[in-house]
Amino acid sequence: MMQLDKIVNYHKALADPTRMRILLLLSEGEMNGQALAEKLNLSQPTVTHHAAKLREAALITERRDKNVVYFAQNPYFIKQHAEASLQFITKMGEDVMTAEPVNETLKTSVLRNFFAKDGRLRQIPAQYKKKLIALQHMVEELEPGRQYTERDLNEFIKQYHEDFATIRREFIMHHFMYRENDIYELNPREQWTKWEQVK
Amino acid sequence: MMQLDKIVNYHKALADPTRMRILLLLSEGEMNGQALAEKLNLSQPTVTHHAAKLREAALITERRDKNVVYFAQNPYFIKQHAEASLQFITKMGEDVMTAEPVNETLKTSVLRNFFAKDGRLRQIPAQYKKKLIALQHMVEELEPGRQYTERDLNEFIKQYHEDFATIRREFIMHHFMYRENDIYELNPREQWTKWEQVK
DNA sequence: TATCTAATTAGATATTTATCTAATTTTATG
DNA sequence: CATAAAATTAGATAAATATCTAATTAGATA
């Protein structure tokens, strides 16, 4: 099973005290290999070794400046993987959805189960398809062509959910919106993330 | 560092495909050792081995009936550990709290930062102390001596947060309330979880 | 070009660990 | 008490992996 390996690899990446300490150090900000080696009292090759594993699991990113490589946390993926894993293990994907409906489309069921009567988003779906449906539902209330400041957008999102930062990021990530010079604007619908047959 | 080992062990427990498959099977409901061995095509000792690791990490529970041992997921701890780990790595504990205040008590800052103006709980604090403060804040609005049905209690909690199930469980777990015959009631304040000097 | 620094790659070693078979323990039952 | 069924424990083995030193590569600069 594909999904399973991915999740196991995520946990393998975190199943080592040295790598955990690296992430901990990086939570303060980026660091280069040498600095990490020193802080951890390890050789540089050892740091390279662990960095490779963390990179494979998409938990860190790297940038090169001259001949020094700076490592940084990738908090978005750390969070995504943590949620996906929890979901996978406990099948909590369905916990809001009491039972998988048969006579209604996925979209209807997401709208019914993840949004409260007052229209607020109960929780961000962790399953990919469902998340996209929820995002799209919100994004459809934005005005095409209008330029939103970050503040505007945050306020808009807060109507639905407190965690505006995550949702704003998702809007960009899935190409519902784009940002230029700190101004956010809707993408044309054709560019919105397409996913397989969500009827 | 103590915390670190605990979190690493949690991930070690999940960093193996066999154990992941066990949890997956258990997400459907409890199973005994033989059944697991058969489903996984492994010997019974191997199952025992993995079960021990999962138990050490508090991810499963076991009950014995006659001479067969039934394993079951411990979804509460799975979730707790996932959140604690995420928190630990990304230091998200402070993410709602923009900066650690100096001139106000922890309690004031939790109330200010985790509760919205309308009184709702933005998110359940993941840090232990802060979580207790938030729980206590809510629990103080319950009537001493009143007997709450589960429905009553859910409604009460939903005033604050959608995830009433988790919060209800926390109320019990930290001895703010107790349940008897499906009726919930406040514990006297003296029994509420005491924590170190949260002034 | 020669040299210096940071990083990676290669290769070796020791530790951890997933799995098995065989033996033992636990609990129930004829 | 003898037998049976399920589980655990003991011990062995093979695979995975964390770490090191030595050698190499990448990039910058004198």
- A:53-72 Cβ neighbours of strand D under 7 Å: 53, 64, 66-67
Does one domain contain both A70 and A121? no
Asked whether the beta carbons of residue A89 and residue B20 sit closer than 8 angstroms, the reply is yes
Beta bridge partners of B184: B148, B179
Residue type, B74: N
Name the minimum distance, in Å, from the CA of B125 to any CA of chain A: 14
Distance CA B40, CA B66 (A): 24
B81 closest CA partner among A26, A13, A89 = A89
A59 closest CA partner among B181, B51, B11, B66 = B11
Does one domain contain both A15 and A64? yes
Query: What CATH code is carried by the domain that includes residue B175?
Result: 1.10.10
pLDDT surpasses 80 at B37: yes
B45 touches strand D (CB under 7 A): yes
Asked whether the beta carbons of residue B15 and residue A20 sit closer than 8 angstroms, the reply is no
pLDDT surpasses 60 at A199: no
B9 touches strand C (CB under 7 A): no
B166 token code pair: 């988790």
pLDDT for the residue A51: 96
**DSSP count for chain A of H helices, then E strands:** 9, 6
Task: Give the max Cα distance, chain B.
Answer: 61
Does residue A128 sit within a domain?
yes
Instruction: Give the CA-to-C1' distance from A1 to C13 in angstroms.
Output: 34
A93 token code pair: 């994907």
Best-predicted range by mean pLDDT (A97-111, A156-170, B20-34) = B20-34
Q: Cβ distance B19 to B50 under 8 Å?
A: yes
Q: Which of A135-139, A192-196, B12-16, B26-30 has the lowest mean pLDDT?
A: A192-196
Structural domain total, chain B: 2
Model confidence over B60-105: pLDDT tens digits? 999 888 889 999 998 888 988 998 898 889 876 544 433 334 445 7
B127 closest CA partner among B93, B101, B88, B168 = B93
SS3 A127: coil
The nucleotide whose C1' lies nearest the CA of B42 is: C19
- A89 to chain B: closest CA residue: B24
B82 token code pair: 């996932």
Does one domain contain both B159 and B113? yes
Does one domain contain both B16 and B71? yes
SS3 B69: strand
Does one domain contain both A124 and A69? no
Distance CA A188, CA B156 (A): 43
In this complex, the residue with its CA at the shortest distance from the C1' of nucleotide C26 is: B67
Instruction: Provide the residue range defining the domain that includes B21.
Output: 3-76
Instruction: Give the CA-to-C1' distance from A190 to C6 in angstroms.
Output: 46
Does one domain contain both A48 and A134? no
